Amino acid sequence: MKNIAVIGAGTMGNGIAHTFAQSGFKVQLIDISEASLQKGMDTITKNLDRMVAKEKIDEAQKNETLNNITTFTDIAEGVKNASLVVEAATENSELKLKIFKQLDEQCAKDTILATNTSSISITQIAAVTARPKQVIGMHFMNPVPIMKLVEIIRGYNTSDEVTKTIMDLSKTLGKDPVEVNDYPGFVANRILMPMLNESIETLYNGVAGVTEIDTVMKLGMAHPMGPLQLADFIGLDVCLSILNVMYDGFKNPKFAPCPLLVNMVRAGKLGVKSGEGFYDYSQSRKAENVSQQFL
C-alpha cells in the first residue's frame, strides 16, 4: 500500500496528506477547488518549514515530503491508482454519502475506503457502497502531523482483515491507533463534546467568563488548552454538527447543543477559522499562532 488518496485539502485533509507523505507514501490530494489545493499545499509547506526550524526534520526530508504529494481537482483521476482513500471533507452526512457513492464507482474493487468523520456512522456511509467490508473510519486528531491518536472505527460490516490493515498502517505513520465500535461520537467526541457544551452552558448561564472558565480547566484539570479555546480551535460549526449527530443518534438531552453555540454559529462566529469565536483572532496573526502552536 503505497498510493494514498486524500479527499479534501482543508485543515484535516492537508494534515493527513502531510503525514502520509512524510512517512514515504505517494499521496494524491484531491479537492474540487484549485484555490483550496494551493492553500492546503501552502499550509503543508509552512508546517514543514517550522519542523525544519525546530530541527525535527531536515531540508531534504521537507523536499521529499512535498515531492510525494500530487494535487488533483478531478476525483476520478486522483483515486485511479489508490490502494486507500481517506475522505476528509466537511462534517456533513449528505456530502460524505455522495462522495462515497462516487468513490465506490471509481475506485478499484480492492481499494479500502476510509473516512475521517468525527461522529457520522461508518455503517451508514458503508451502506451506500457495494463494498461495506472495505469501509472503515480513521479519525485523526488535529494537528494531524503531531497528535498520536487515530480512532479506528469499525462499521457493522467492516472485515477483520481491513481493520488489521488500517491498524498496522496507522502504526507505520508513527500513530497509536485505538479500535472502537460504531456509535455516535465514537469515544473521543462522545466524551469531549458534552464537556465543551457544558463549558458553553456555564458561560451562557453567567457562572463565569471565557478566560475564567478556561483558566479553571487549565490550572485545575491540567488541560493544555481551555475548553472554550479548544472549541474555537475545532470550529464551533463542527462542534454543533457533532452534537447534533449525537443528539439525533441517542435522543438524550445531555447532547442537545447550548443555545449560545447555535446562535454563534448562525452569526458566523466559528472560532479560529472565521477570526472570532469565544476569542478574537483577528489581530497579530493570532489565528495562525493558535492553530499551529503544537508544530
Q: How far apart are CA 14 and CA 29, in angstroms?
A: 8
Q: Which parts are annotated binding residues for NAD(+)?
A: 8-13, 31, 91, 96, 118, 142, 273
- Max Cα-Cα span within the chain: 55
- Mean pLDDT, residues 8-32 taken together: 97
Residue 189 a catalytic site member = yes
Among the listed residues 3, 47, 87, 139, the single catalytic one is 139
Confidence class for position 283, pLDDT limits 50, 70, 90: confident
Which residue, among 214, 244, 208, has the nearest Cα to 228 in the 3D structure?
A: 214
Q: Is 36 a catalytic residue?
A: no
Domains and CATH numbers, the chain: 3-181 (3.40.50.720), 190-289 (1.10.1040.10)
Respond yes or no: is residue 118 known to be catalytic. yes
Q: What does the alpha-carbon distance between residue 115 and residue 184 come to, in Å, rounded to a whole number?
A: 14
> Cell numbers of 2, please?
503505497
Pick out the residues of the known binding site.
8-13, 31, 91, 96, 118, 142, 273
Closest CA to 162 of 137, 133, 131: 133
Catalytic residue (one of 47, 189, 197, 241): 189
In this predicted model, what pLDDT tens digit does every residue of 170-220 receive, in sequence order? 999 999 999 999 999 999 999 999 999 999 999 999 999 999 999 999 999
User: In the chain, pLDDT over 70 holds for what percent of residues?
Assistant: 96
Q: Average pLDDT, whole number, for the chain? A: 95
Residue 64 annotated to the active site: no
86 - beta bridge partners?
Answer: 6, 114
Whole-number Cα distances in Å, 268 to 216, 226, 278: 27, 21, 12
Q: 132: which strand partners? A: none
CA distances from 229 to 57, 158, 223, 233, 285 (A): 29, 36, 11, 6, 16
User: Average of pLDDT values for 131-142?
Assistant: 97
| Catalytic position from the list 68, 118, 119, 170 | 118
Given this model, what pLDDT does residue 294 score? Answer: 45
pLDDT for the residue numbered 1: 83
| Angle separating helix axes 227-234 and 210-221, nearest 10 degrees | 110
- Among the options 14, 151, 197, 291, which is catalytic? 151
